[in-house]
Amino acid sequence: MNETTDRFRLDGDVVVVTGGGSGIGKTLAAAYAGVGATVIITDANEEAAESAAAEVGHGATAVAIDVTNEASVTDGFARIADEHGKLDVLFNNAGVNRRVKTTELTMADWQLVIAVNMTGSMLAARAAAAIMFTGGGGRIVNTASALGLSGGWYPNLAYQAAKGAVVNMTRSLAVEWGPQNVRVNAIAPSLVRTPFIKALTDQPDQVKFFEGLSPLGRIGDVEDMIGPVIFLSSRASDFVTGHILLVDGGLMAS
């Protein structure tokens, strides 16, 4: 290796991945382990987190954390701090969606989507930052969405509102925590093939529609998230904070 490739390594770093039991989180947990990090996978589903940690290997461990529950977040991150003594990177990735017309959106679904995607992102970031402040700094990568920057292509109000909040939360925290050497950035994916959108990707006409919107002519794969997230988590992005990195195949440019 040389200095250029070394800047993308995370040897000796402690990384927490929320919502790591499946999808993008699980893929990134493996990617973090592959560049030398000690990985802690958290998920509200303890069994999913433990299964993902076993699959990732490389010493990855699991902690059950429900990001909608302040006590669960506080206790979970305290346990991580006690066991590892520090926290270098948070991939703030837990999320849910309820894709319905606004006239059919129940308050229960609205509150769930806001609780996980917006409030949960804040709670995890706040808990992580408290540990990072004592260790001289760190990096937080939030999972926003192209739908947080757009009116969208189908009715999805709660998700778009929550992800729009994540976009501006990322900028606000970057400004607030920059003096403590905590960098805060976000990725903003478009459609990515995961269990999260299986109901949509099981419809060939819908897939064809979204492929037609993309200059690259396809929707995303989870592997497309690896490079952007590792970049924002590593020394390669040392002078980048408050940035929302679209990972959308050019969708928002068209």
Find out whether 237 and 185 touch, Cβ atoms under 8 Å: yes
* Closest among 9, 203, 48 to 17, alpha carbons compared: 48
**What phi and psi, each to the nearest 5 degrees, are found at residue 54?**
-65, -40
Instruction: List the catalytic residue out of 32, 159, 177, 210.
Output: 159
104 burial type by CB count under 10 A (0-12 exposed, 13-18 middle, 19+ buried): exposed
Between strands 244-247 and 89-92, the pairing is unpaired
Is 159 tagged catalytic? yes
* Closest among 102, 96, 147 to 118, alpha carbons compared: 96
Find out whether 183 and 237 touch, Cβ atoms under 8 Å: yes
Question: Any idea which residues carry the catalytic annotation?
Answer: 159
